[in-house]
């Protein structure tokens, strides 16, 4: 397992709301969130579950990000996705945890290791940390995560569900 992974806002939001923030550690024991991501989350207010979770989870650290390279800028992503990808690009081998489609395509184009919230659930199931993935995915969907049923079905077939 890698020592560190960098995460965008949406996985933090979905996992915090569902009470499943620990699933982030399926990517790495230490999770970093770029300042832009933390600012985006903190705009939700101090009583927001995600803002409280990020502030109170010792293995989630806020990091500065270097200037966004022109190639990443050219994708016209949000500031959080751009910061996550810039951090991952300057730290080779560190996976980016992103759910946004355009951000994922950019990561794939740049050869950045990539995971999403669905991938974290799949890893947890394979490692025996959860008995079944489908109920976890249903819970995440109740908290705002969008996934096409066809994508869920393909993922579940890969882990024997």
Task: Tell whether the model's pLDDT for residue 1 goes beyond 90.
Answer: no
- Cα–Cα separations (whole angstroms), residue 23 to 19, 74, 153: 10, 32, 20
Q: Residue 133: pLDDT above 90?
A: yes
- The share of the chain scoring above pLDDT 70, in percent, equals 99
Tens of pLDDT, residues 53-94: 999 999 999 999 879 999 999 999 999 999 999 999 999 999
Given a contact cutoff of 8 angstroms between Cβ atoms, the answer to whether 122 and 133 are in contact is yes
Homologous superfamily (CATH) for 4-118? 5'-nuclease (3.40.50.1010)
Angle between helices 49-56 and 35-42 (to 10 degrees): 140
pLDDT at residue 128 is higher than 70: yes
User: Is residue 104 within 8 Å of 114, Cβ to Cβ?
Assistant: yes
* pTM over the 0.75 mark: yes
> What was the pLDDT predicted at 65?
87
């Amino acid at each position: 397992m890698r020592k560190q992974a960098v995460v965008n806002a949406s996985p933090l939001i979905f996992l915090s709301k569902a009470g499943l923030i620990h699933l982030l550690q399926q990517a790495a024991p230490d999770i970093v969130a770029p300042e832009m991501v933390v600012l985006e989350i903190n705009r939700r207010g101090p009583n927001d579950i995600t803002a409280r979770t990020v502030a109170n989870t010792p293995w989630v650290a806020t990091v500065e990000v270097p200037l966004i390279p022109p190639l990443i800028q050219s994708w016209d992503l949000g500031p959080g996705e751009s910061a996550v990808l810039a951090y991952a690009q300057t730290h080779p081998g560190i996976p980016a945890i992103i759910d946004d489609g355009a951000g994922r395509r950019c990561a794939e184009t740049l050869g950045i290791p990539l995971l999403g919230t669905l991938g974290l659930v799949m890893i947890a199931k394979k490692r025996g940390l959860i008995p079944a993935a489908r109920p976890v995915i249903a819970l995440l969907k109740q908290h705002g995560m969008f996934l096409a049923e066809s994508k869920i079905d393909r993922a579940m077939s890969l882990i024997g569900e």
